[in-house]
Structures are given as C-alpha cells and as structure tokens.
C-alpha cells in the first residue's frame, strides 16, 4: 500500500496571521475586521485595513481556492470607485502590492526584504511568514469583476 501525500492548505486565519506578521515587520498598524461570529458590522468589509504614515489599504484575505461573497465584491467596487486600494488574496498578492509600492524587494535567497528596513531580525520575522504562503488568489487592485 502506498502512502498518499496530501498538500496542506493553510486556513484563512493562518494566512491572515502571516500577512499581519509581515506588515508588523514593515511598521504597519493593522485594524482587524474579520469575525468568526455574526456581527452588526458592514457586510463585506475586508478582513484588514493597514496603516503606515500616509499609506493605507484594505486587505481581503482568501486562502487558496477561496471565493469572495457578493457583499465582498460590492465592497471592493465601492473602494475602487472611491480611489482606495483593495488587495484581494494572501501573501503572494500582498507581497506583489508591496513590491509595486517599492516597500519590499526580492532578495538573492528568494525571500522578500524591506527596502527601507534591512535589520536582520526584522527580515527573519517578515520572511518566516512566507513559509505559510502556498498558492493564493490573485491580486486585484483594479475594478474588474473577476472572482478569486
């Protein structure tokens, strides 16, 4: 009998935690909106809003294979129309956005390094979360209706 290898897919909570570790290492403050129970907050509100200096953006975390609800798609459209940045996905999409903003760059080892903070301890903390990454949904900072 052969042993089957099953690829572990991280939970959405694990992906959120990895994103939060990376953002904290980069000096961002995170505001958490995700809830495991029914609440009276706005339907579709993203899981996180990150702030650092004059930069702020929304992050709707999806584990690999996760889909947005209609409320989430509507919230994304509202943000985009208002000129706010909305990142959809996991670590891959978050690092793509941060790279586009010039906040991180790939290192020679294939991990990411902050462009303005090159402290080794920060680097270890920021890149440790990349181990959780796995395939995630696509970065969606534009106004298209693609589901992820």
**C-alpha 12, offset from chain centre:** 10
Q: What is the pLDDT of residue 34?
A: 79
Q: Please report, rounded to a whole number, the percentage of residues in the chain having pLDDT higher than 70.
A: 64
pTM of the model: 0.70
Decide if 97 contacts 85 (C-beta within 8 A): yes
- As a whole number, mean pLDDT of residues 93-97 equals 94
Q: For residue 77, is pLDDT > 50?
A: yes
Cα dihedral value 74, 65, 143, 60, nearest 10: 60
Q: What is the pLDDT of residue 21?
A: 93
Q: What is the pLDDT of residue 42?
A: 86
Decide if 115 contacts 26 (C-beta within 8 A): no
Q: Please report, rounded to a whole number, the percentage of residues in the chain having pLDDT higher than 90.
A: 48
Taking the C-alpha atoms of residue 50 and residue 24, their distance in angstroms, rounded to an integer, is 10
- As a whole number, mean pLDDT of residues 58-86 equals 95
Decide if 76 contacts 119 (C-beta within 8 A): no
β-pairing verdict for 86-89 and 55-61: parallel
- As a whole number, mean pLDDT of residues 43-59 equals 95
Domains in the chain, CATH or no CATH each = 12-132 (3.40.1350.10)
The H or E element spanning position 48 is strand 48-52
Q: For residue 135, is pLDDT > 80?
A: no
Q: What is the pLDDT of residue 144?
A: 40
């Amino acid at each position: 009998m052969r042993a089957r290898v099953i690829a572990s897919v991280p939970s959405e909570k694990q992906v959120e935690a990895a994103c939060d570790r990376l953002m904290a290492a980069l000096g961002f403050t995170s505001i958490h909106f995700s809830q495991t129970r029914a609440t009276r907050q706005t339907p579709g509100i993203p899981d996180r809003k990150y702030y650092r200096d004059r930069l702020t953006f929304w992050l709707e975390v999806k584990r690999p294979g996760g889909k947005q609800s209609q409320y989430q798609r509507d919230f994304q459209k509202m943000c985009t129309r208002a000129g706010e940045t909305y990142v959809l996905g996991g670590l891959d999409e978050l690092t793509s956005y941060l790279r586009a903003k010039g906040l991180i760059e790939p290192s020679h080892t294939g991990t990411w390094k902050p462009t303005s903070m090159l402290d080794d301890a920060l680097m270890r903390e920021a890149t440790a979360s990349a181990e959780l990454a796995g395939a995630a949904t696509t970065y969606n900072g534009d106004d298209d209706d693609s589901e992820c």
